[in-house]
Chain A
Amino acid sequence: MAVYSTNEFRAGLKVMLDNDPCAIIENEFVKPGKGQAFNRVKIRNLKTGRVIERTFKSGESLDGADVVDVEMQFLYNDGEFRHFMVQDTFEQYQADPKIVGDAALWLKDQDFCFVTLWNDAPLAVTPGNFVELEIVETDPGVRGDTSGGGGKPAKLVTGAVVRVPLFVQTGEVIKVDTRTGEYISRVKE
């Protein structure tokens, strides 16, 4: 694996820090006119999701981490593991709930998502930015109310609960932004 020096640290670069795979978020060069140069680096631990700040002496280096995001299809949940497949190669991966995390609330069978692989093993799962899911439970709305104000909770087929406008009914399919958990629109079947 490649070794990266502080001046190669760019947003998105994957490196090993304290034995965990991490992604660089920000790298600030700090140098007094007369004095030691440092790099103040913001890093996300890809295992825990935690963001930390760490200072390096300029010129220090870190090992690269073999981390890639691969688009996969979510196949099924066997109760213990969720199974994913790479569309082109039919290669399959399984991930336990700890790794899938909240993404599980947005994933229905056959949907596409991104699986982050570290040394070819799943590290994290990210749903697509937008998903289309059916509402399985919501209070009946007032007929004729088409305003966006107010809203009510609606439970989706995957278990997620989002706020929807009053006119949206059980059984309808809606489009949701998974990054914010916000309702976008109804989807006409």
Chain B
Amino acid sequence: MQQDWQPSCSLELLRLRAELLHDIRRFFHGRSVLEVETPLLGDCTGTDPQLAFFSTEFCRTPLQQRLFLQTSPEFAMKRLLAAGSGSIYQICKAFRNGESGRFHNPEFTLLEWYRVGFTLPQLMDEIEALFAGLFNGYGLQAARRMSYQAVFQQHTGLDPLQFCHQDYCAYAVANGLPEAVGLCTDNHLLWLDFIFSHKVQPLLGDNALCMVYGYPACQSSLARISADNPDTVDRLELFINGIELGNGFYELTDADEQDRRFTKEIQVRQEQSLAPVFKDQRLLAALAAGLPDCSGIAIGLDRLLMVLGHAKAISETLSFSIDRA
């Protein structure tokens, strides 16, 4: 008899998820943020070399069209914003190929929202308010806001904005990570990912929401360059108990700059022999038509449930994790 017909999560977590979804919808309803749905299956996908996608064939006789399961609803939501939707939110599935582990399931649930006219600090205020409600009765400590440079320096003594290869190597060797030297070579971005995920992130947000902002410009993704420091971007990440919960931006609205970042990422994909993707021309057209100034963030709800439900692995929060889906 097969035993894996049963859910991966407890019925208690199933109920906790239902409650979480209800609380989130009530929060945004109270603030007049519009709930939307965008396609999970689309003609284009992101160019980020770090994200692997699932694709499928749409049989539309006599043609076959390749479609992508979305790695994030970001592009479609930005097109709604450019069309004048005003502030919007969405709770949806996102798909990332090859991601599986204690904190990853290739299919997962995102809460993504965009606030028209909000700067990053204003968005942080709203995140704090949302978390205060969701964690009511949980005993979470007061939220903290720290710059990437400050947390990095605090936990490693290294400056993340000034790449000194020798210092980084010496740090890795002295801290039990000698393999970093060969693995990261002279790639500043790789060094930051390596040291941050091994030595900084695990210490962030001890029973508290930790909001890290001001990421190094080499980790810009879809964020704007900070007005007060061109070496950093207006990007935000959320952590509780060392778990990465969300990633937000003061959104890039410049179509030409977006086009350049697409070109650069496509080039990196080619260099690394990754599956080719094309620029999402509809997103570029929407940006050219005018994306209102806005801030947005995506939060992984399964991981949030891990924290709320004291789960050790993401599978404990999912009805059926990928191994029994």
Contacts and interface: CB of A to CB of B under 8 A. Distances in A.
Contact of B180 (A7, A32, A37, A55): A55
B55 interface: no
A38 interface: yes
Given A7-B98, A29-B102, A55 B194 contact: yes
A58 interface: yes
A29 B244 contact: no
Nearest to B102: A28
A15 B188 CA distance: 30
Nearest to A59: B98
Given A34-B48, A40-B198, A55-B179, A29 B247 contact: no
B103 A36 contact: no
A73 to B, nearest CB: 37
Given A54-B179, A55-B177, A58-B98, A36 B190 contact: yes
Given A33-B247, A34-B221, A35-B50, A57 B196 contact: no
A47 interface: no
A40 B99 CA distance: 14
B244 A32 contact: yes
Interface string B209-220: 000000000010
B104 interface: yes
Interface in A13-72: 28-38, 40, 53-58
Contact of A33 (B101, B180, B194, B244): B244
Nearest to A30: B197
B103 A29 contact: yes
B98 A57 contact: no
A40 B199 CA distance: 12
A37 B298 CA distance: 19
Question: Chain B contact residues: over half helix, strand or loop, or mixed?
Answer: mixed
Given A35-B197, A36-B50, A37-B50, A29 B104 contact: yes
B183 interface: yes
Contacts of A36: 50, 189-190, 193-194
A131 B189 CA distance: 55
A5 to B, nearest CB: 10
Contacts of B99: 29, 31, 37
B319 interface: no
A34 B219 contact: yes
B306 to A, nearest CB: 15
B258 interface: no
B1 to A, nearest CB: 25
B197 A32 contact: yes
A27 to B, nearest CB: 8
Contacts of A7: 98, 100
Given A54-B179, A55-B183, A35 B219 contact: yes
Q: Which 5 pairs, one residue from A and one from B, show the smallest C-beta to C-beta distance?
A: A29-B101, A35-B193, A36-B193, A33-B247, A34-B221
Given A31-B104, A53-B176, 19 more contacts: A29-B101, A29-B102, A29-B104, A30-B101, A30-B197, A31-B50, A32-B201, A33-B246, A33-B300, A34-B50, A34-B219, A34-B221, A34-B247, A36-B190, A36-B193, A38-B193, A38-B194, A55-B180, A56-B179
Interface of A: 7, 28-38, 40, 53-58
9 contacts: A30-B198, A31-B101, A33-B247, A33-B298, A36-B189, A37-B50, A38-B194, A55-B198, A56-B179
Interface of B: 48, 50, 98-104, 176-177, 179-180, 183, 189-190, 193-194, 196-198, 201, 219, 221, 237, 244, 246-247, 298, 300
